[in-house]
Amino acid sequence: MQTASGDADASTPVRGKLPNAFLTPYTCRVVDYSHEQLRERYISAMDKELGEVFHHLMQEAARLHLKWNEYDALYSGRANIETLNRAAPGFFWMAQNALWNDLLLHICRMTDDRSDVLSVQRLSKLVKVALLASDRCLLSLCRPAPPPQERESQSTHRHSEWVKSVDP
């Protein structure tokens, strides 16, 4: 909506500009890290083995996303498929099957359960080991709970006191 002077009202969006309601005093800084810098950041945040595995799996996940984006760009939508079928149906059928099979194999490799391969399963096991180590550290800070029999007798005693106070 425009004001009488011809300027756009601050509450309505103008093409190419955000309305004032969307402007914030905070800015987001995007930082590009090199392959080695990312690896070092993961290792410093996690231990060496977990950081290495996480870094390589993140790289594999990025490659998988790239493959999927290519597949999606080529084979999504009826218009794209019709265009590909008119241009070279046999070639694009083979390319689609090859790309699809490669995507499936990539997912299978990333989720393999063998311990000698780089996979999400291996990462999961490393995270559990790291959590167990940190849990041991946290458990040393906690006091142990009373034995179950002692807890049960305490709650039974409290319940009987409550019943006595409610019943005349």
In a domain, 122, yes or no: yes
Query: In terms of Cα–Cα distance, which of 137, 131, 73 is closest to 99?
Result: 73
In a domain, 25, yes or no: no
pLDDT digits (tens, 9 = 90+) for 57-79: 889 999 999 999 999 999 999 99
165: pLDDT strictly greater than 80: no
Mean pLDDT, the chain, whole residue set: 74
In a domain, 154, yes or no: no
In this predicted structure, what is the pLDDT of residue 33? 82
Neighbours of 44 (CB within 10 A): 10
In a domain, 113, yes or no: yes
In a domain, 58, yes or no: yes
Q: Which domain holds residue 42?
A: 37-140
In a domain, 41, yes or no: yes
In this predicted structure, what is the pLDDT of residue 8? 47
In a domain, 105, yes or no: yes
Domains in the chain, number: 1
